[in-house]
Amino acid sequence: MSNILTEEDYRVQVKDRPFSALYARNAKAVIARGLMATKSSNWLIMVSGFFEPVLYLISMGVGLGALVGTVVGPGGEEISYAAYIAPALLAVSAMNGAVYDSTWNVFFKMNFAKLYQGMLYTSLGPLDVAIGEIFLALLRGALYATGFTAVMGLMGLITTPWALLMVPASVLIAFGFASFGMGITSYMKTFQQMDWINFVMLPMFLFSATFYPLSVYPQGIQWFIQALPLWHGVELLRQLSVGIFTPATAVHITYYLVMILVGMVLTTARLRKLFLK
Amino acid sequence: MPNQTNPNYVISADRLTKHYGNFAAVDGISFDVPAGESFGLLGPNGAGKSTTMRMIGGVSQRTSGKLTIMGLDPEQHGPEVRAHLGVVPQQDNLDEELRVRDNLLVYGRYFGLPMSYLKPKADELLEFAQLTDKAKAKVDSLSGGMKRRLTIARSLINEPKILLLDEPTTGLDPQARHILWDRLFRLKESGVTLILTTHYMDEAEQLCDRLVVVDKGQIMAEGSPATLIREHSTREVLELRFGSERNTTVAADLAGIGERLESLPDRVLIYTHDGESALEQVTARGLHPITSLVRRSSLEDVFLRLTGRSLVD
């Protein structure tokens, strides 16, 4: 501050590059902020997120499983009910975490905590914020998935090393939902509208072959469920949990790659609507 | 390439307009700010000052018109423009999840500044904001005035060339305001361009070289505080209070005294070049106000004259 500014100081040179209005290549600052905030204040909320699927697994898998006994797994083999629903619960948890982080969390930080308002008055562009937040959501998802897989291992529900692939696959699922969620949030203006998200999520959780096979439905409903993203996540993780790979595995993965691509295009296109009003 | 229309102005707005639906928050305002000037936007709440500030920062998209900051369009070069901007928003938006000093460090990281620069800078700014002993405190434990000072300290982390201050002293006690004004003076002396919105006339008079009076998204007048007062008001003002019941009814009895009379719900203002003699005329008519005060004209009077309304409602 000691040097007095001159006219020269006010001359600024810029290079034109793609997305320069939206992206300053500094998403790492957003990520660093997220980690620091987690460390200093909201680690407890994070820990609670880990327990949710574990509690479901104990209640439904162990409790309800005692009544159900064994069921037919993805490869046609008999597996315990807990082993059947555990990968599905992991897929649901990946979805819920990613959707929460990319919708409610973004909505709150945008409109109430005014966090992004502060960030966007710096050199950061909206794409830096979006990438940073999605990365944090995925990092958290990866930690949860690792913890849940460890719990599955402790409960004796893992029989093959292939099951470890559930962790990266969970991140893939989370990425698909997070990239879409942020784009969808850009259309939301009130809390009531945000509630619609839950209205879609809950039935998807209950009916996407999470707790019983798809074959219980009539053909038309099966097609409908198969068009929804969660079913692909559930089936993908269920296959990985027992190390079965079929052409369907590739379809599930492709479904998510396309979802990520479309979601990122949507979110990027909506960034100005989301952040620059 | 950026359009270098007029390199002498660091901010150039030409018929700048912002609509929200059918509502024109900013309705075709034009102004130019040369480097190092302290420029004010004076107007009541909802006049479009904050929206203008947001467009300068490139965080709000204009509906039409032209705007350049240091020759750059903030919509096309938001990150580059903001690298040289310091922003104090109307409402503090500190990071409540981080501690006081971390707020400064993290904010500096958003500008891509290295920690080796930021650590001593953060300490210097904590000193500046008189928050050194609060460095490790949580933000929500700070008082309103402390939060405001931290927000202002934060806006200086990147050594901005242009400082945008949206109602910087609203909610501060008089002592804190004077400290802040002093700091802003020093920044101005070092060549920083200040853009300030306020609805406090004394603040505008203290800090602004030049200002525009804004109402309903439009510029009503432009000039230095002294010029505006000279052009739009008289030298002195006689303020009379007759009690809320009588203020409006008594106006008729005061007709002819001074150059102009303004009757407000809580007081009657008589614009005149000689307040004392006007007061003598009032008492000569057998009218006895509960209180009377002769003061110099201020920007408040300019605003009242231009819009028919007071600044603070």
CATH number of the domain encompassing residue B150: 3.40.50.300
- Which residues in chain A have their CB less than 8 angstroms from residue B94's CB? 118
Q: How far is it between the farthest Cα atoms of chain B? A: 74
pLDDT greater at residue A148 or residue B6: A148
Q: Do A125 and B78 touch (CB under 8 A)?
A: yes
Domain for residue B78, yes or no? yes
Please enumerate in sequence order all residues whose Cβ is within 8 A of that of B121, keeping only pairs 6 or more positions apart, or say none: B104, B108, B157
Note whether B207 and B241 are same-domain residues: no
Q: Which residue of A has its CA nearest to B151?
A: A118
pLDDT given at position B209: 94
Note whether B201 and B253 are same-domain residues: no
Domain for residue B97, yes or no? yes
Q: What is the mean pLDDT of residues A41-53?
A: 79
Q: What is the mean pLDDT of residues A30-50?
A: 83
Give the range with max mean pLDDT: A20-24, A49-53, A272-276, B48-52.
B48-52
pLDDT given at position B111: 96
Note whether B91 and B219 are same-domain residues: yes
Domain for residue A2, yes or no? no
Note whether B267 and B125 are same-domain residues: no
Domain for residue B217, yes or no? yes
Average pLDDT, rounded, for chain B: 90
Any CB–CB contact under 8 A between A22 and chain B?
A: yes
Domain for residue B304, yes or no? no
Domain for residue B302, yes or no? no
Note whether B106 and B204 are same-domain residues: yes
- Could you tell me what percentage of chain B is helix, strand and coil, using 3-state DSSP and rounding each to the nearest 5? 35, 25, 35
Please state at what angle helix B100-110 crosses helix B115-128, rounded to 10 degrees. 130
User: How many Cβ pairs closer than 8 A exist between chain A and B?
Assistant: 128
Instruction: Out of B166, B197, B224, pick the residue that ends a domain.
Output: B224
Tell me which of B6, B12, B80 to substitute to probe the interface with A (most A C-beta atoms closer than 10 Å).
B80
Q: How far is CA B82 from the centre of its chain?
A: 20
Can you give the residue range of the structural domain that contains B71? Answer: 9-224
Domain for residue B301, yes or no? no
Domain for residue A194, yes or no? yes
pLDDT class of B1 with cuts at 50, 70, 90: very low
Among A2, A4, A120, the residue with its CB nearest the CB of B59 is A120
pLDDT class of B311 with cuts at 50, 70, 90: low
Q: Angle at Cα B291 formed by Cα B286 and Cα B295, nearest 5°?
A: 105
pLDDT given at position B310: 67
Distance CA(B69)–CA(B17), nearest Å, equals 16
pLDDT(A13) > 50:
yes
pLDDT class of A224 with cuts at 50, 70, 90: very high
pLDDT(A1) > 60:
no
Domain for residue B69, yes or no? yes
Q: Which uninterrupted H or E stretch holds B30?
A: strand B23-34
Any CB–CB contact under 8 A between A29 and chain B?
A: yes
Note whether B220 and B244 are same-domain residues: no
Domain for residue B4, yes or no? no
Phi and psi at residue B173, to the nearest 5°? -75, 165
pTM of the full structure: 0.86
Note whether B264 and B126 are same-domain residues: no
Instruction: Out of B206, B224, B242, pick the residue that ends a domain.
Output: B224
Integer-rounded Cα radius of gyration of chain A = 21
The two tokens of residue A22 are 């939206």
Domain for residue A123, yes or no? yes
Domain for residue A1, yes or no? no
Q: Do A14 and B89 touch (CB under 8 A)?
A: no
Note whether B164 and B216 are same-domain residues: yes
Note whether B205 and B125 are same-domain residues: yes
Task: Single out the residue of A126, A104, A131 nearest to residue A197, CA to CA.
Answer: A104
Look at chain A and report how many structural domains it folds into: 1
pLDDT given at position A63: 92
Can you give the residue range of the structural domain that contains A149? Answer: 7-275
The predicted-structure confidence for B249-283, as pLDDT tens digits, reads as follows 888 888 889 898 888 888 899 999 999 999 999 99
Note whether B15 and B148 are same-domain residues: yes
Note whether B52 and B191 are same-domain residues: yes
pLDDT(B123) > 70:
yes
pLDDT greater at residue A37 or residue A231: A231
One-letter identity of residue A166: M
Q: How far is CA B91 from the centre of its chain?
A: 14
Tell me which of B4, B59, B166 to substitute to probe the interface with A (most A C-beta atoms closer than 10 Å).
B59
Distance from CA of A148 to the nearest CA of B (A): 27
Tell me which of A2, A7, A13, A14 to substitute to probe the interface with B (most B C-beta atoms closer than 10 Å).
A14
Q: Which residue of B has its CA nearest to A15?
A: B1
Look at chain B and report how many structural domains it folds into: 2
Note whether B30 and B127 are same-domain residues: yes
